[in-house]
Amino acid sequence: MEVQFIKISAPADSPNNDGIHIGSSSNITISRSQIGTGDDCISLGPGSTQVTIDNVYCGPGHGICLGKRPKEGDVEGVHVKNCTISGTTNGLRIKTCADSDHSFASNFTYEDIVMNNAANPIIVDQEYCPLAHKR
């Protein structure tokens, strides 16, 4: 599936409103689009595989996020390229749970990413776990 030339806009202070959330899907391309929200511009959840994000402007929001909670499908084969992330809380964020044997985010590439005023440009959170899974 290919999504291109879209504009998604929500107030920067609006909660829990990902611009695009992908889950349990493969062979997805998002390109030539502009996304600004109060949450993740693009969120790749459980079972997201072979996803390309190309030439997307993200901001405001929480950036581009991949990952998930334990015992959910893996996130793999993600290529984010030629994107601009501006005026965001986060830039690029990866979420996994180190305690889980079933929490993988693998085979992802970030290429030619420009960030302006991203408070947390790169976040790798290996403790994104429900309380029951915390050490």
Please identify every residue annotated as catalytic. 39, 62
Complete DSSP assignment for 9-59? E--TT--S--SEEE-S-EEEEEEEEEEE-SS-SEEE-TT-EEEEEEEEEE-
Task: Say how far apart CA 51 and CA 81 lie, in whole Å.
Answer: 11
